[in-house]
């Protein structure tokens, strides 16, 4: 559970996000779960003060997943600076997302 009360395995849904954003977030979380990762959604980081769409953790590796709808590359770079350095960042564009082609 993160500091905002997120529980492992739950995907938070925000009404201000597009439906496509939320569906893509859920589908990615499900794929990571199938591969044995613990997943957390909409996690806030204490020191860096960022919030990630998804975090996936297994053994010694972890990923932060950002689902991008209309954000520019500059925004993603700025977000990455706020995230813990020991996580790899994966950006997924909603308009190009295909669950059948998504590979971990």
Per-residue pLDDT tens digits for 64-93: 999 988 777 787 888 888 788 888 989 898
- pTM of the entire predicted model: 0.85
Q: What is the DSSP secondary-structure string of 27-93?
A: HHHHHHHHTT-EEEEEEE-TTT--EEEEEEEETTEEEEEEEESS--HHHHHHHHHHS-TTSEEEEEE
Per-residue pLDDT tens digits for 4-19: 567 889 999 989 889 9
Per-residue pLDDT tens digits for 32-69: 999 999 999 988 877 656 788 999 999 988 999 999 88
**Alpha-carbon gap, residue 49 to 51, rounded angstroms:** 7
In eight-state DSSP terms, residue 102 is -
Q: What pLDDT is stored for residue 4 in this prediction?
A: 56
- The residue assigned the tokens 């769409």 is 53
């Amino acid at each position: 559970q993160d500091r905002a009360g997120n529980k492992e395995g739950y995907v938070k849904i925000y009404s201000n996000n597009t439906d496509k954003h939320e569906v893509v977030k859920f589908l990615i979380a499900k794929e990571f779960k199938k591969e044995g990762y613990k997943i957390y959604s909409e996690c806030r980081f204490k020191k860096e003060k960022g919030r990630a769409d998804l975090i996936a953790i297994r053994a010694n590796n972890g990923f932060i997943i950002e689902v991008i709808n209309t954000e520019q590359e500059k925004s993603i770079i700025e977000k990455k600076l706020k995230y813990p350095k020991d996580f790899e960042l994966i950006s997924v564009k909603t308009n190009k997302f295909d669950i059948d082609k998504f590979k971990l």
